[in-house]
Amino acid sequence: MVEIRKTKLDTGWLAARSTEVELTGVQLTTTHPPSGLDQPWMEAVVPGTVLGTLVKNKLVPDPFYGLENESIIDIADSGREYYTFWFFTTFQCKQSGNQHVDLNFRAINYSAELYLNGHKKILPKGMFRRHSLDVTDILHPNGENLLAVLVYPPDHPGSIPPEGGQGGDHEIGKDVAAQYVEGWDWMIPIRDRNTGIWDEVSISVTGPVKIVDPHLVSSFFDNYKRAYLHSTTELVNRSSWVAECSLNIQVTTELEENICLVEHLQTEHVSIPPGSSIQYTFSEMFFYKPNLWWPNGMGKQSLYNVEISIDVKGFGESDLWSHHFGFRKIESHIDTATGGRLFKVNGQPIFIRGGNWILSDGLLRLSKKRYMTDIKFHADMNFNMIRCWGGGLAERPEFYDSCDIYGLLVWQEFWITGDCDGRGVPVSNPDGPLDHELFLLCARDTVKLLRNHPSLALWVGGNEQVPPDDINTVLKIELKLHPHFQNSTESGNTTEETFLVSKDPSQYLDGTRMYIQGSMWDGFANGKGDFTDGPYEIQNPENFFKDDFYKYGFNPEVGSVGIPVAATIRATMPPEGWKIPLFKKLPDGYVKEVPNPIWEYHKYIPYSKPSLVHDQILMYGVPEDLDDFCLKAQLVNYVQYRALLEGWASRMWSKYTGVLIWKNQNPWTGLRGQFYDHLHDQTAGFYGCRSAAEPIHVQLNLATYFIEVVNTTSEELSNVAIEASVWDLEGTCPYYKVSEKLSIPRKTTVPLFEMKYPKSKNPKPVYFLLLKLYNIADYGILSRNLYWLYLSGGDYKLLELNRKKKIPLKITSQALIRGSTYEIQMHVHNKSKEPDLKNLLYKNTFVKQNGDGDFDFNWASEKQEDGLIHRIYRHFSREVSGLRVAEINGTEVGVAFFLHFSVHASKRDHKKGEDTRILPVHYSDNYFSLVPGEEMSITLSFEVPPGVTPRVTLHGWNYHMGHTIL
């Protein structure tokens, strides 16, 4: 008997343009299957898109390189037939006895005809719906099966006006599909509108009874000491007889890799009439003090595995379903003090700091590995929320798996945008998509697909718009909260009497998460739907701290610059794209940047805002070339985004409840609004955010010059102090202060004392301010923050002279290799001055936050990194050469400024300009600075391609030539 299983069909696919195939679907899957890569057939990308397949086969250029997208014909000009494609594959499968076989498509875009062994099926319209077909009776007895799928593009692909625009001509809004594909002010048009089999295809084998869409919900009582797991599932009996079933639910937790503890095992009997389906609700399962799931920065992301299986009398095991699950409760309400929406997790208020997300890749080249990198990057920035923007995707389960692991709350929008659905210029589609029932079908199916993920925090009707009234009304009704998940006390209590008379929460479509009708309604922006998000351009850093910067409690979109490093520009553009902007001086003294045409095509945002903000790059001097421009841009990126988040944190709870930056990343090689580029290299803005959003943070209010401590944790800080030191460009310390012993209440921002420098006599025009918040008992660093500052009315140009200083560094490194994965510890010491050995703060021994659930999934599958398996793994890993020491000679004293590591492939025959970077790399910190005598350890982790030896390079403001360290 064939075992109960699911098999992915993600290899061995062929594709061909429909107009070039003269055979019918019946012929392709019976008498005339493709014999291989003979014309017009090519290797297909499944999951993926037609355009992704054409790029892979080099039939069109990379649309994200330079201006190459302009050479690819748009569907508006070619017609839909040009991007209508056949996809073909074969698979082995045959059932036996009372088994059933389903062919599953987790998503296609936009509709399809399916042929299996000569039999035709229809996959109806809609980009965000699952398709599951019982193909038991049409499988070949010998197990050899032929599958052909004819995929049609969206019905209304639209056209792109010469001036571009938000969502092109908005026609795509008539379909239930991603709207970004017609282009935006941050995105080029996607020529095929993402046509294709863009998500997982699989074959599943079950017995006579099938498990469909279980729903898992946790409820809490007695201050989260008592918890219950509620479970409801649909059961479908496809046999012609009454199925007498044993239904089992098992809950386990992982102790070590492949070692699990069974927390609960429960079996219940159920009878299912022939040819029918039922909704079955398990008896609730009791847990005492379960390990809770917490967002990033609040605690561990504890995950249990829930497994549901069904055994049918006379058959045996019929189906098996499993999903990880987190015990947690998410609530939100409009805060009376700020007017912003305030979120609580497990009864604790959480100050939201995160960003907006479109999708990982504009050609839908999505993978578990890429998602894991994307989401770990967000966690590394200390973010706690991602907003999935309404013009993008209903994100995939693999995206949510990563968010569950790394603790990123997710705000998921449905497929409505103001630009394409009634508020754009010109106004179009005021009634949203043409087929409202299709929209609701896709919405319901999306809820069922994603609702068991603990990271999913919020459903939102649309971006800067609400859905049409009939759709909005249905969503409000069907996504209403169960009484237990309506606002309760901090202890998580609702009365058990109320709970007992209510319907079991797992019987709701969701019932555990708030539905908000639009991104600027009900506690977001001004709460009324007016365009009160933004702004989206460069700011004077001090403005973020001022009373009049933003008036409302929760800003869902505020954006700024995002130029990547020079190596990324060279890797994604031809040489004519390496020209830096022209700086055009205006009569009022401000500067207007004029970018080259390729930068303009890639949606570059300038670093100046004439009449309001002087060019922030020119504050450091006129850049000489691309490398100089991009390095100075990284300085601005760091300052800009650190100030943004520090400005919001400065008013935590008094003015703001949260902020989401527009946006975290680009789904292509764009030049705006990103903390890492499409190749997965971080900008310095990434590390500015990482600093500002740490759970415990010491900062300088740039408007008042008060030192503040932000404590977002649920614990009071006691017996701590702040060291503030000022360093000039000569490496001397003209100002030094240690505060008295401090206590910082939980979940507050406290202004502590005003910086007396530079109000003192003879202040230096440019200087560094180093702040350290530390435990008095052991000098453990809770937060470290270094600023570079200038006197009022000045600039940073004196830093240019500092680049010539030769400051000695000592870098000690040790590498650990596990297969193709490297972990390298770099200990960097600024040797230009001997430290005060009585003050151990120079060592920068950082305190690891208790409850930190972060871990690198690429390195080990367990969360407990110091567990037994991990220790054994480390023991048998190969360490490289023990400790290695590299010295960078120098005789001058000063701050080793803006140091940053990068990892490259060692190549003897490397061509000039070739991109040798190994990406992605996870750094514990980067773009860091060390004052004289100071030390710091940096950890790098990355994977290397087969046969490649990595080398680690250090660059910095004082080390622009670069030094190979390892």
Q: Which residues are known catalytic residues?
A: 464, 557
Element (H, E) at 744: strand 742-744
Cα–Cα distance measured from residue 377 to residue 676, given in angstroms and rounded to the nearest whole number? 8
**Cα separation of 418 and 167, whole Å?**
10
DSSP-assigned states of every residue in 107-149: --BSEEEEEETTEEEEE-S-SS--EEEE-GGGS-TTSEEEEEE
Rounded-to-5 percentages of helix, strand, coil across the chain: 20, 35, 45
- Quickly count: other Cβ atoms within 10 Å of residue 143's Cβ: 12
> Which strand (E) or helix (H) includes residue 316?
strand 316-325
* Distance of alpha carbon 306 from alpha carbon 252, whole angstroms: 7
Structural contact between residues 179 and 156, judged by C-beta atoms closer than 8 angstroms? no
How far apart are the two ends of the chain, measured CA to CA in Å?
Answer: 55
Which residues lie below 8 Å from residue 44, measured CB to CB, with a gap of 6+? 13, 14, 15, 53, 87, 88
Cβ atoms of 693 and 377 within 8 Å: the answer is: no
Task: Tell me the backbone φ, ψ of residue 923, rounded to 5 degrees.
Answer: -110, 135
Q: Please state, in angstroms and rounded to a whole number, the distance separating the CA atoms of residues 741 and 757.
A: 21
Burial of 814-841, coded b for 16+ CB within 10 Å and e otherwise, reads bbbebeebbbbebbbbbbbbebeeeeeb
User: What contacts 830, CB < 8 A, 6 or more positions away?
Assistant: 807, 808, 809, 895, 896, 930, 931, 932, 933, 934, 935
- The C-alpha atoms of residue 112 and residue 124 are separated, in whole angstroms, by 7
Distance CA 359, CA 613 (A): 31
Q: How far is CA 399 from CA 391, 453, 636, in A?
A: 17, 10, 31
In the numeric block, the tokens 């020079």 are attached to 566
Q: In the sheet that 243-256 helps form, which strands lie side by side, from edge to edge?
A: 259-272, 243-256, 304-312, 316-325
734 touches 728 (CB < 8 A): yes
- Give the residue carrying structure tokens 């050995």: 837
Please state whether beta strands 409-413 and 456-460 pair in parallel, antiparallel, or not at all (unpaired).
parallel
**Spatial contact of 187 and 180, defined as CB atoms under 8 Å apart:** yes
Tokens for 95, please give them: 């059932």
Angle formed at CA 533 by CA 530 and CA 534, multiple of 5 degrees: 140
Q: For 714, phi and psi rounded to 5 degrees?
A: -90, 10
Among 209, 220, 276, 218, CA closest to 248: 209
544 SS3 class = helix
Amino acid (1-letter code) at residue 564: P
